[in-house]
């Protein structure tokens, strides 16, 4: 399932004052969350201006930290593969993995 569809179906409510920085796959997030930042997309008819490219680069700089954390969590394969253990312990195991990833970030 696509990330934005998952986000819309989950009904995770971000506070209105929270800034949500997303990638271009989240087209339409402004309807759900007003304080969201989305990079501009290039089209065949309309090329991006230098200002739009710089804006996209700034957005990417903000997002890269979160993308690296997601990649670190996916290395443990608890999120990227089918979870085959007891659902009851999923939260505990995920929290342990998040703790390990946070420890790596600090050191």
Total tally of structural domains belonging to the chain: 2
Mapped to the 3 state alphabet, what secondary structure does the chain carry?
A: CCHHHHHHHHCCCCCCCCCEECCHHHCCHHHHCCCEECCCCCCCCCCCCHHHHHHHHHHHHHHHHHHHHHHHHHCCCCCCCCCCCCHHHHHHHHHHHHHHHHHHHHC
Q: Residue 58: is its pLDDT beyond 90?
A: yes
Q: Residue 28: is its pLDDT beyond 80?
A: yes
Q: Are 23 and 53 contained in the same domain?
A: no
From 9-13, 21-25, 41-45, the region with the lowest mean pLDDT: 9-13
Could you give the percent of the chain with pLDDT greater than 70? 100
Note down the domain range covering 10.
1-38
Q: Is residue 61 part of a domain?
A: yes
Q: Are 31 and 58 contained in the same domain?
A: no
Whole-model pTM: value is 0.69
What's the pLDDT tens digit per position in 73-97?
A: 888 877 777 777 777 888 888 888 8
């Amino acid at each position: 399932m696509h990330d934005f569809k998952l986000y819309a179906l989950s009904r995770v409510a971000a506070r209105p004052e929270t800034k949500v920085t997303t990638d271009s796959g989240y087209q339409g997030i402004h309807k759900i969350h007003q304080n969201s930042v989305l990079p501009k997309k290039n089209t065949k008819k309309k090329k991006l201006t230098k200002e739009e490219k710089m804006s996209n680069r700034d957005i990417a700089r903000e997002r890269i930290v979160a993308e690296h954390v997601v990649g670190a969590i996916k290395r443990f394969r608890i999120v990227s593969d089918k979870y085959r253990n007891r659902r009851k312990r999923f939260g505990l195991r995920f929290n342990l993995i998040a703790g390990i990833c946070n420890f790596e970030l600090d050191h």
